[in-house]
Amino acid sequence: MNKKVEKALNKQIELELFSSQLYLAMASWAEKTGFNGSANFLYMHSDEERMHMLKLFHYVNDRGGHAIVPSVEQPNLEYKSIHDVFKEIFEHEKMITAAINELVGLCYEEKDFTTVSFLQWYVEEQIEEESLFSNILDKFNLLGGDKAKMYMFDSEMEKMASTGETPSE
């Protein structure tokens, strides 16, 4: 496969794996802080990010490239509040969307239309992810920050986790 595209896909593999690690760290923080609903949701989302990484992994190898296991960067382990966790996720997902768009742009430049077509799944996935996290932030803002409302917010997250209300399914 085109070497520039292969390198860029491996960079995306690294980003998706980092996303998985980041959500895992956030899930752990939420669990130890008592936000069990949010923790369940975040553990699930961490698994989804690993799935995003694996999908790229198989594609690179199937097309004659070499999918590289990246070294692991430790994400932030501590958060000020559950609100900060979801605000950070929303910003992170916007960064991922920009990275996917760059990748698609490179594939057009390199006339690798097969990979452009493969990446459409990620383009659509990012629309869903940004919308999901924007909705969660809206929910948080509606419920506000006092303790009873935080409990309600966390119960909402539990509901989302138990119904599998996450993108990419």
Interface positions with ligand FEO (CB under 6 A): 16, 19, 49, 52, 93, 96, 129
Residue among 39 and 150 whose Cβ is closer to ligand FEO: 39
Q: Closest approach of Cβ 169 to ligand FEO, in Å?
A: 13
Residue among 93 and 112 whose Cβ is closer to ligand FEO: 93
Q: Closest approach of Cβ 90 to ligand FEO, in Å?
A: 11
* Amino acid code (one letter) for 104: V
Q: Report how far apart the first and last C-alpha atoms of the chain are (Å, whole number).
A: 29
Ramachandran region, residue 2 (left: φ > 0; alpha: ψ -120 to 50; beta: rest): beta
Angle between helices 82-109 and 3-33 (to 10 degrees): 170
Q: Closest approach of Cβ 168 to ligand FEO, in Å?
A: 8
**Rounded Cα distance, 112 and 96, in Å:** 21
Residue among 129 and 156 whose Cβ is closer to ligand FEO: 129
